[in-house]
Structure 1
Amino acid sequence: MAQSSSSSVQQARQVLADRLREIVRDAGLDGKGLAALCGWHPSKVSRICTGKTQPSEEDIRTWCRACNAEGQTSDLVASLRAVEGMWLSWSRMERTGLRRVQDSRVPLYERTHRFRSYSPGLFPGLLQTLGYTEDVLRAVQRRRVEVDDVADAVASRMERQKVLRDGHRTFAFIVEECVLRNALGGTENQIEQLDHLLTLVSVPNISIGIIPARLNRVRMPVEGFWIFDSGQVNVELVSGFLTLTQPSEIKTYADTFAALSGLSVYGTQARSLIVSARDSLR
């Protein structure tokens, strides 16, 4: 698994390591004894027990067999998969295509009632038109995905937008002004996207803030992120997709979102920026 400095990932990795260490102790073994039974070097056991090395599923099965704790194997493997799911490289996420990635987000969106999203470079997926989504996902597919299921992935993202029509949910979006003027597609799709944004500005349960381009701004742009209720943050990085669940990390992103919101304009001012960007394309 790719290493991450996230405390959420580190804590989850350490919890798994602690459970494996308890199994060794309950079996009346020490690290050297376990290593001998598994046919490993003692340093491997030490690294796993301290959380420095992530075990594989086969490592866990071998570990449990050596400790006569095979009844715990399934639970521990499930825990390992949960840890691995907190950090996913794009190559791993997208190896079977983009449709699966889009579909995997559905359960989270269906159970979330409060959405917060900041994007420095693109319109968030829930705000995208079909044409804009096609441009974005086609660019991703050409750059790093061998499987071409862009049409299915676009359909999945469009279907997910139905949550916007649920008046019991709230949505707060913040984008940098450059998002209005930069695009992966052409003029026609960008104009359509900006027109669509104008229709969403007045929807009661949707808040759209735009951070105007300016000199001497008090806070620099950061990586794009989503906050789902108060229980999870997702961050899209160059190398992969990070899931955070630690309260302290969620608070950091919530505080950052609040600060970025303070830099944003809304309502009539936001509409003026959108109209200006659209009219510049005509």
Structure 2
Amino acid sequence: MTPPGITRSNGTTLPKNKASGSTNVHEARTALGKRLREARQVAGLNGRQLAESLSWPPSKVSKLENGRQTPTDDDIRAWTDATHTQDETDALLASLHTLEVQYAEWQRIFRTGLKPRQRQHLEWDQKTRFIRAFEASLIPGLLQTAEYARFRFADGIRRLKLPNDLDDVVALRVKRQEILYRPDKRFHFVLTEAALRYRLCPTEVMIGQLDRLLSLSQLPNVRLGIIAFETQYDTAPKHGFWIYDEERVLIETVSAALDLRQPQEVELYANTFEQLAAVASYGRSARKIINRVIGDIAPEDESGDSG
């Protein structure tokens, strides 16, 4: 069911077709409202009393508590001051900021093409000192060859019916990878063996991609782990995700990007990453797995000699 229209803090309301189509966002706004209600109730105030103490119309308290209006930072601070729950201010603000940025549909992100998103990634890369990434089904963008990236971007352009800026966006992807050679940056990638084997491009392109992984695995600031098929997992590899320092987690779904910034969510993903990383193979063992995959998918007779 489509969530109701969203009331901005200035009192205007977005119509339903302009409001976020994400049930997750609607639920997050409702959850934030419940936390505000709990703070009011613990303080022993009814809605009208709280509104009067803040010089607000009573309807504003009701809208905030029922998720029909998104609070501002000042609203949160005023609420916790009035309910003597200042120790909850930072957590509530974190929830608000996550709500504001956590869900963005691809059609909105990519309305002018793929290039702006790649530029945004480039900015994130520059600001981040330690990047951790787990991927279960494809090669992470920072490790992709230009040829592999071209097939992945072409798929997105076709599937989402986006403006075609393929050449430019591939060039930006390659430019992003310059960061791998900066000594002040650290990278830890964990991939499943399945990500090495999925045929998301022609065989010759995939072999070149795997050869690229062999080279990058030997960079001093890059740690590459591969989880082989025979490995027993302690935690399920449900989906790919990227962790930027201890600040944010980026998750890409079929329809949207999730940008999570609440400390408890970042910590949860960091712990999940560590559990996945703990069962991965590294160094020579990881390269052995990659070479095994190359041997399995390479043409049986590359020389053309049938004898």
Tell me by how many angstroms 1:156 deviates.
1.3
Measured at CA, do residues 28 and 242 of structure 1 come closer, stay the same or move farther in structure 2, by a change above 3 Å? closer
Q: Does 1:53 align with 2:73?
A: no
CA contact (8 A) 1:6 1:244 kept: no
Measured at CA, do residues 52 and 208 of structure 1 come closer, stay the same or move farther in structure 2, by a change above 3 Å? same
Tell me by how many angstroms 1:23 deviates.
8.9
Tell me by how many angstroms 1:14 deviates.
5.3
Q: What is the distance in 1 between the residues matched to 2:261 and 2:154?
A: 31
Measured at CA, do residues 206 and 142 of structure 1 come closer, stay the same or move farther in structure 2, by a change above 3 Å? same
Say which is worse superposed, 213-222 or 247-256, in terms of deviation: 213-222
Which structure has more relative contact order (CA 8 Å, sep 6+)? It is: 1
Percent same amino acid among aligned pairs? Answer: 32
Runs of 4+ in structure 1 over 4 Å off: 9-15, 21-28, 80-83
Tell me by how many angstroms 1:274 deviates.
0.7
- Give 1:236's match in structure 2, choosing from 240, 244, 252: 252
Measured at CA, do residues 212 and 166 of structure 1 come closer, stay the same or move farther in structure 2, by a change above 3 Å? same
Say which is worse superposed, 140-149 or 172-181, in terms of deviation: 140-149
The count of residues paired between Structure 1 and Structure 2 equals 246
Tell me by how many angstroms 1:122 deviates.
0.5
What is the CA deviation profile of residues 200-257 of structure 1, one whole-angstrom value per residue up to 9, with x for unaligned ones?
1111100000000127544321211001011111111233111111111111101100
Measured at CA, do residues 270 and 10 of structure 1 come closer, stay the same or move farther in structure 2, by a change above 3 Å? farther
Look up the match of 1:266.
282
Q: Does 1:143 align with 2:159?
A: yes
Q: What is the distance in 2 between the residues matched to 1:164 and 1:12?
A: 39
Q: Which residue identity lines up with residue 101 of structure 1 in the other structure?
A: R
Q: What is the distance in 1 between the residues matched to 2:102 and 2:127?
A: 18
- Give 2:143's match in structure 1, choosing from 127, 145, 157: 127
Structure 1 gaps of 5+ residues are 35-44, 56-79
Q: What is the distance in 1 between the residues matched to 2:207 and 2:26?
A: 38
Structure 2 gaps of 5+ residues are 1-19, 38-46, 71-95, 300-307
- Give 1:155's match in structure 2, choosing from 146, 163, 171: 171
Look up the match of 2:195.
179
What is the CA deviation profile of residues 149-194 of structure 1, one whole-angstrom value per residue up to 9, with x for unaligned ones?
1111111111111111111110000000011111321011111101
Find the residue that maps to 2:113 and give its secondary structure.
coil
CA contact (8 A) 2:235 2:272 kept: no
Instruction: Please give the TM-score of this superposition, normalised by the length of structure 2.
Output: 0.71
Q: Which residue identity lines up with residue 225 of structure 2 in the other structure?
A: G
Q: Does 1:4 align with 2:24?
A: yes
Measured at CA, do residues 164 and 240 of structure 1 come closer, stay the same or move farther in structure 2, by a change above 3 Å? same
1:185-200 matches, cutoff 5 A: 185-200=201-216
Q: What is the distance in 1 between the residues matched to 2:190 and 2:178?
A: 20
What is the root-mean-square deviation of aligned Cα atoms in Å? 3.2
Q: What is the distance in 1 between the residues matched to 2:133 and 2:196?
A: 16
Tell me by how many angstroms 1:97 deviates.
1.3
- Give 2:218's match in structure 1, choosing from 199, 202, 213: 202
CA contact (8 A) 1:232 1:245 kept: yes
Find the residue that maps to 2:23 and give its secondary structure.
coil
Q: What is the distance in 1 between the residues matched to 2:247 and 2:156?
A: 28
CA contact (8 A) 1:225 1:234 kept: yes
Find the residue that maps to 1:105 and give its secondary structure.
helix
Q: What is the distance in 1 between the residues matched to 2:56 and 2:190?
A: 56
CA contact (8 A) 1:170 1:206 kept: yes
Tell me by how many angstroms 1:82 deviates.
7.7
Measured at CA, do residues 25 and 264 of structure 1 come closer, stay the same or move farther in structure 2, by a change above 3 Å? same
Q: What is the distance in 2 between the residues matched to 1:102 and 1:158?
A: 10
Find the residue that maps to 2:172 and give its secondary structure.
helix
Find the residue that maps to 1:174 and give its secondary structure.
strand
- Give 1:30's match in structure 2, choosing from 52, 58, 62: 58
Measured at CA, do residues 86 and 267 of structure 1 come closer, stay the same or move farther in structure 2, by a change above 3 Å? same
